[in-house]
Structure 1
Amino acid sequence: METVRLDREIHQTTAPSGVIVLSERVPSVRSAATGIWVRSASAHEPRPKMGVSHLLEHMVFKGTERRTAQQIALALEARGGSLDAYTSRDTTAFHARVLDADLPRALDVLTDLIRNPVLRTSDLELERKVVLEEINTVADTPDDQVFDLSYETLWPDHPYGYSILGTRDTVSALSAGDLKQLHGRAYFPANCVIAAAGNLTHETLLEELAQQGWFDRATSNGERVTPSVAPVAPAVHGAEARHPKDTAQTHIVFGTDTVPYADPRKYALLVLANVFGGGMSSRLFQRIREELGLAYAIYAFTSFYHQMGVAGVYVGTQPQTEAQAVAAIREEYAKL
């Protein structure tokens, strides 16, 4: 076990199994938050399997070798805690918040979800309907959908441009075998990062994880390797994509590629985005909303991923003021 101290109360351990463990002790609270991040998500998917990572994230909650779906739901909530998960482009995350005394229980539940899901075909048929309704929800929420469309325009032929949820066609075609294959390929210790913060010690966290088998080199990794992402081609620049929809507003995203997560220049970009469109005093808010009255929602955004980043501006405005809003935003861009 190799442990380094990153700050006064922050420690990192790399175990023989390859799993990375991070903790931050916050002695002033009586709670703990913990999560397990699997380094496999939509960026690792081929187009025909679009949405398989997100569907697997749903399916692990349908039952494990030790717990039914209802037992999973009650395991932490019955003690005032919470349990949830999400899929992004680079990682799939499972996380919990509990009283500090219940941290061992939270780690047990999270480990069970990630290591021992049963992934039954009968459960899949039901949960597939849930995910299809989630896709419908996004389709009915244009200020969310416009971001998926912008990614698709920037990277039409790369998984970074795919929908995290998948499409109705791809999700409908996924099988329990696809889920089991992904789970076997990606859900192993060396492909995971475990983090916890709250009223805990790093030593106690390591002890609990050891009891859960996370450090067992002999049975954890085998010949598996961390999934890789296809090299990202330069984003499409100068393109304009329009998607007609019967809505009260026109939802517009200006987007471009930028630096990846590990690039230190992201901090300067975060400052710039805050000045440009990060709050009531920002240039975009003052010009587009306060001076011109063209929008209720106007803001700049940034997102950073393993191989690339995205930066841009969102605005929602009436169809008849779309051209004026676009022109005003371009004017503010020109002042940068």
Structure 2
Amino acid sequence: MITSKADASVEVTTLDNGFRIASDRMASVETISLGVWVGIGTRHEGAAENGVSHLLEHMAFKGTRRRSARDIAVEIENVGGVLNAYTGREQTAYYAKVLSGDLPLAVDLIADILQHSTYDATELERERGVILQEIGQAEDTPDDIVYDYFQEAAFPDQSMGRPVLGRAEIVAGLRADEIAAYQTSHYRPGNMVLAAAGNLEHARLVDLAVKAFDSLPLGHSAAPEPARYRGGETRYGRELEQVHILLGFEGIGIHDPDYYTGAVLSQLFGGGMSSRLFQEVREKRGLVYGIHSFASAWKDAGLFGIYAGTGEDEAGELLPIVCDELLKLPHDISAEELHRAAAQLKAGILMAREKTSARCEQLAAQLLIYDRVLSPAEIVAKVDAVGVADLARVARRLVAGNPTLTAMGPVGKVMDLESLRGRLQA
């Protein structure tokens, strides 16, 4: 067991099996946010098991050897706490928020559901039906599901492009033994972090964790297949009031030296009401209600994208304007724009530190991604180090790549991919 202090409030202990326990002490609050983050998600699934990570996350709450599904819900709510989870492409999280005196219960509950779930057949069938309803609801929400279609177009025929919720036909057939086997082979202590933030003592958290997490399988999980961005075009004609459009390019991964430059660039281009996209497309031309850019990043890949919802008649005008703004971007970035975008990013980082949940999640994510904790000062310094020339260089890098275009709704007037490529090369 090795314990180190990352900064004045953060301590990290690594057990002999690789399981890490991290805490961020906030003595002025009355609560604790805590959870286990597992470095496993959708991209670790095989094609024939797409959706198993998400189904496993649901089934963890449906009964253990010691507790029924109702017992789990009642015990956490008896103390006014919250217990929940989510699945992503590279991580799955099981987390709680409780009053500081209820830390032992929260640790015990999370340890129990992650080590002793029973995958009861009746509960599995019931929860399978819930997830199929969730998939159907996503299909009925175009400004939600269009992102899944965009991801698949950017990363076709590979795990990075498959939907987090899974495909209905696969989820419908996943068996309890397959879910259990997936957990045993992937939920290994070396890629799991127990993180907590709030009014707690690190030594007490470690003592509780050592006793509670005593049944984790040893060894390491297999690495996922590398992400291979390809791009392309997908169109889904549907009778909708709006056309939902996503245009994107190969982005910047978390470990790329340009990661923070890409984040500042996305903020500047389409991250707020003062951004170029919002001002040009909505305020000046009135073509959309909402438009924004985003920079999604994973360990070995990234996506830079622009989303807009617009009317059928305006759809033909939208993408040419976005292309023109992309082409202008490397040439006329001002110091004022850079300062404003950087200030927005830094404010978001520092304001989040007022919440125990955000500090807990950040702690776990950094350990899974970087194998160390980054201080707020270090992150702010990386944002401050971005210059106008860096933004121009990264803007050229992004737009030079093969685009991805996804449109849903009355798509007849949306510019096609070849025309879009020609416009960007003009």
| Aligned ranges 1:20-39 → 2 under 5 Å | 20-39=20-39
| 1:136 alignment counterpart | 136
| 1:92 alignment counterpart | 92
Give the TM-score, by structure 2 length: 0.75
1:281 and 2:277 aligned: no
SS at match of 1:280: coil
SS at match of 1:240: strand
| 1:197 alignment counterpart | 197
SS at match of 1:298: strand
| 2:337 alignment counterpart | none
Cα 1:47–1:294, aligned 2, differ >3 Å: closer, same or farther?
A: same
- Displacement of 1:173 after TM fit? 1.5
| Aligned ranges 1:70-149 → 2 under 5 Å | 70-149=70-149
**Distance in 1 (alpha carbons) for counterparts of 2:174 and 2:3:** 41
1:256 and 2:243 aligned: no
| 2:16 alignment counterpart | 16
CA contact (8 A) 1:63 1:118 kept: yes
Query: Which residue identity does 1:280 align to in structure 2?
Result: M
**Distance in 1 (alpha carbons) for counterparts of 2:194 and 2:258:** 26
SS at match of 1:7: coil
**Distance in 2 (alpha carbons) for counterparts of 1:227 and 1:93:** 19
Question: More displaced, 83-92 or 8-17?
Answer: 8-17
| Aligned ranges 1:157-176 → 2 under 5 Å | 157-176=157-176
| 1:300 alignment counterpart | 293
| 1:230 alignment counterpart | 225
SS at match of 1:293: coil
CA contact (8 A) 2:188 2:220 kept: no
Unaligned 5+ segments in structure 2 are 330-426
| 1:40 alignment counterpart | 40
CA contact (8 A) 1:17 1:221 kept: no
| 1:321 alignment counterpart | 314
Question: More displaced, 65-74 or 224-233?
Answer: 224-233
CA contact (8 A) 1:115 1:188 kept: no
1:311 and 2:304 aligned: yes
**Distance in 2 (alpha carbons) for counterparts of 1:193 and 1:262:** 20
**Distance in 2 (alpha carbons) for counterparts of 1:324 and 1:103:** 56
**Distance in 2 (alpha carbons) for counterparts of 1:4 and 1:226:** 25
| 1:221 alignment counterpart | 217
**Distance in 2 (alpha carbons) for counterparts of 1:252 and 1:175:** 37
* Percent identity (aligned): 39
Instruction: Tell me the number of residue pairs that the alignment of Structure 1 and Structure 2 aligns.
Output: 329
SS at match of 1:137: helix
Query: Which residue identity does 1:148 align to in structure 2?
Result: D
- Displacement of 1:295 after TM fit? 1.0
- Displacement of 1:306 after TM fit? 2.1
Q: String of CA shifts for 1:263-283, please: whole Å, max 9, x gaps.
A: 342111111111111111111
Unaligned 5+ segments in structure 1 are none
**Distance in 1 (alpha carbons) for counterparts of 2:258 and 2:220:** 30
Give the TM-score, by structure 1 length: 0.95
Query: Which residue identity does 2:261 align to in structure 1?
Result: A
